Amino acid sequence: MRCLGIESTAHTFSCSIVEHTDGKGKILSDIRSVYKPPEGAGIHPREASRHHAEESSAVLRDALKTANVNVKEIDAIAYSAGPGLGPCLRVGAVVARCLAGYHKKPLVPVNHAVGHLDLGMLLTGAKDPLVLLVSGGHSMILALSNNRWRVFGETLDITIGQLLDQFGRAVGFASPCGARIEELAAKSNNYLHLPYTVKGNDVSYSGLLTAAKKATNNNKLEDVCFSLQETAFAMLAEATERALAFTNKKELLVVGGVAANKRLANMLQDVCKRQKAKFFVTPINYAGDCGAQIAWTGLLQFNTGIKAKIEEAFVRQSWRLDTVDITWKN
């Protein structure tokens, strides 16, 4: 079976075709076009959605061409229904509805965050992991129990991705800023004291962001970037280690755009050594937003009978993944 997945939650418009054969998934294509805001600016929903609308046909065409299939050979069409930016979500939903209606294909709405988790497990081989989801939209520690992803820790205010992007924009970088901050952080080992806030098993980043911005006034930017990363990631590592010990999971999987950060991976590898757990991280090419995560989860859902009538297709800007019934896993 083959599924076309359409991702459009934020800065990325992506189309991917994933094949499911003998219980295994294979990515046949994953084409993306990324909206890039001006330096020092964040994602403008209207401009990002305009970018998605303008690029959608070319991205779709390239995805079909790369996979060497036509729409008639697609069994289902999945789209990211949320969470995300409303105008951006609606572009992907409109494209999906048009294709499904015209070609008479089943339509499958997918939770974007669940897609990150399913694709991460497919690509790494993790079976029953504790998952750390770190991106612009999420900072959550999760484990699957009784057909729901249960939260064992999360951010109380802004996410780790928002922390890095808002700090980066404040010093003049263009979003996304994580890679630039990581590059500068690697040039320093001078730690500056910054607020470290863990409450129970949740983290809070708003105070850290304010302090890091102020620290740029009289410190080298490399030192501030280094200290920001060390503090923010140590908070996540502490909460993750506590959740590993509590759940007694023997696997840790890191997914989401911030999973590409090598310093975060190093900290979490140390956590896994202490807890005698296997460490998995989503391959960097698929750590961020992509159509493959929507196509793969769409296939899994479709195989268990989950689909939506075209006239009842929806988008939800705030759609928590712990409200989704995971009926496609044992």
Q: Over the stretch 15-70, which tens digit does the pLDDT of each residue have?
A: 999 999 887 899 999 999 999 988 777 789 999 999 999 999 999 999 999 999 99
Q: Which pLDDT score, from 0 to 100, does residue 330 have?
A: 65
* For residue 188, pLDDT beyond 90: yes
Strands 76-82 and 278-281: unpaired
Backbone CA torsion sign across 234, 237, 243, 246 = negative
Segment holding 183, helix H or strand E: helix 178-185
pTM over 0.85: yes
Q: What percent of the chain has pLDDT above 90?
A: 94
Q: Can you give 270-317 as a three-state secondary structure string?
A: HHHHHHCCEEEECCHHHCCCCHHHHHHHHHHHHHCCCCECHHHCCCCC
By C-alpha distance, which of 208, 212, 226 is closest to 171? 212
Mean pLDDT of 83-112: 97
- The DSSP secondary-structure symbol of 191 reads P
The pLDDT value recorded for residue 38 is: 82
Distance CA 299, CA 215 (A): 47
Q: Which residues contact 158 (CB under 8 A, 6 or more apart)?
A: 166, 205, 206, 209
Name the pairing type of β-strands 198-199 and 202-203: antiparallel
For 120-162, what is each residue's pLDDT tens digit? 999 999 999 999 999 989 999 999 999 999 999 999 999 999 9
